[in-house]
């Protein structure tokens, strides 16, 4: 059985889809998946053992120059690749009009998705052949697991979902594995940032542990923030620019992670690493960290500034049984 998954973005949403593939692979021997996903996240599906082919799509970028010759050529190449396969099922786990209209609708196969009362954008369900009612007040991982089970005809397992990608990064791990922690300081919205002074207070507290701290970054302003956080601390390393897979390898080797609400926090959860996520204005209830050893601190009054370094350090210490030198 061959199935196309349409889940294009964002990073957290793509990662949250992985346990559903694991369920399906256990329930249906021999099932294989292709996956249409935004180009920036194309590495993620390839880490799952049940995925054969990744179909990178660039809807975000295409929209900026939709009618330009290069974009038209890219779209034509994408559709040519998409239409080479006749799928037994096409599962639209995105639930958005743009993905349903531009990808799901075009694919060959019976199209499944959430119904009018379940999809993020109800009009998307007009592009599906079979529509499934999925309870809204459940974690995103569980909703997707339920969608796959109903689409492919098996009972959703009751145990916690398995991302099944941690083993991809077991070897080789960094030479200093379990001798460092990672602080994920970068996120997209200003109100989700933890004040730099709080990060530096936590870094100061970490001096007692004898562990190194690694700071990844993506954009230049994030590198500059990392440099400010590291200033004056010889046990803090600002990492070079890394690919998503290289970041994942660093996360896989970390003793623990402290993060703001960001896609890499979900990647940490998928890799089964102990993680403390700091939340302010966002609600972690339905989209928070899913997996083992995931912890959260919610700032009083939904303010990141109200989370203290000592709070984060205390949970980090308990979670990892850090020894204080």
7-51 pLDDT, tens digit per residue, is: 999 999 999 999 999 999 999 999 999 999 999 999 999 999 999
Residue 125 in this model has a pLDDT that exceeds 60: yes
pLDDT band at 134 (very low <50, low <70, confident <90, very high): very high
H or E segment and range at residue 278: strand 275-279
Neighbours of 48 (CB within 10 A): 20
Q: Which CATH number is 2-164 given?
A: 3.40.50.2000
Give the predicted TM-score (pTM) of the model: 0.94
Residue 322 in this model has a pLDDT that exceeds 80: no
Task: Give mean pLDDT, residues 218-226.
Answer: 97
Task: Give mean pLDDT, residues 110-117.
Answer: 98
pLDDT band at 3 (very low <50, low <70, confident <90, very high): very high
Determine the pLDDT at residue 323: 53
Residue 229 in this model has a pLDDT that exceeds 80: yes
H or E segment and range at residue 73: helix 69-82
Parts of the chain belonging to CATH 3.40.50.2000: 2-164, 167-320
Determine the pLDDT at residue 78: 97
Determine the pLDDT at residue 286: 86
CA 169 to chain centroid, in Å, comes to: 16
Residue 324 in this model has a pLDDT that exceeds 60: no
Distance CA(49)–CA(26), nearest Å, equals 12
Q: Which CATH number is 167-320 given?
A: 3.40.50.2000
Determine the pLDDT at residue 155: 98
Determine the pLDDT at residue 305: 97
Instruction: Assess contact for 90 and 110: CB atoms under 8 A.
Output: yes
Residue 321 in this model has a pLDDT that exceeds 90: no
């Amino acid at each position: 059985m061959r199935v196309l998954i349409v889940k294009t973005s964002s990073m957290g949403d793509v990662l949250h889809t992985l346990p559903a593939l694991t369920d399906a692979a256990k329930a249906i021997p021999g099932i294989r998946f292709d996956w249409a996903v935004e180009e920036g996240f194309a590495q993620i599906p390839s880490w799952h053992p049940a995925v054969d082919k990744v179909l990178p799509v660039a809807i975000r970028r295409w929209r900026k120059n939709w009618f330009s010759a290069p974009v038209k050529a890219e779209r034509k190449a994408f559709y040519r690749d998409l239409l080479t396969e006749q799928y037994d099922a096409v599962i639209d786990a995105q639930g958005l009009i743009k993905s349903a209209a531009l990808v799901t609708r075009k694919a060959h196969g019976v199209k499944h998705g959430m119904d009018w009362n379940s999809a993020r954008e109800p009009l998307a369900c007009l592009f599906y052949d079979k529509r499934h009612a999925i309870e809204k007040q459940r974690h995103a991982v569980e909703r997707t697991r339920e969608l796959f089970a109903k689409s492919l005809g098996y009972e959703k397992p009751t145990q916690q979902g398995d991302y099944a990608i941690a083993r991809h990064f077991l070897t080789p791990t960094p030479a200093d594995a379990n001798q460092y922690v990672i602080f994920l300081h970068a996120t997209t919205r200003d109100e989700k940032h933890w004040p730099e002074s709080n990060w530096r207070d936590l870094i100061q507290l970490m001096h007692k542990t004898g562990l190194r701290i690694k700071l990844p970054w993506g954009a230049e302003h994030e590198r500059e923030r990392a440099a400010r956080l590291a200033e004056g601390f010889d046990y803090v390393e600002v990492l070079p620019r890394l690919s998503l897979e290289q970041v994942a390898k660093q996360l896989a080797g970390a003793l623990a992670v402290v993060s703001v609400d960001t896609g890499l926090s979900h990647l940490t959860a998928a890799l089964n690493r102990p993680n403390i996520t700091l939340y302010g204005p966002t609600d972690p209830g339905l989209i928070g960290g899913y997996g083992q050893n995931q912890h959260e601190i919610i700032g009083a009054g939904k303010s990141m500034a109200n989370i203290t370094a000592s709070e984060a350090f205390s949970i980090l210490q308990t979670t990892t049984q850090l020894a204080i030198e």
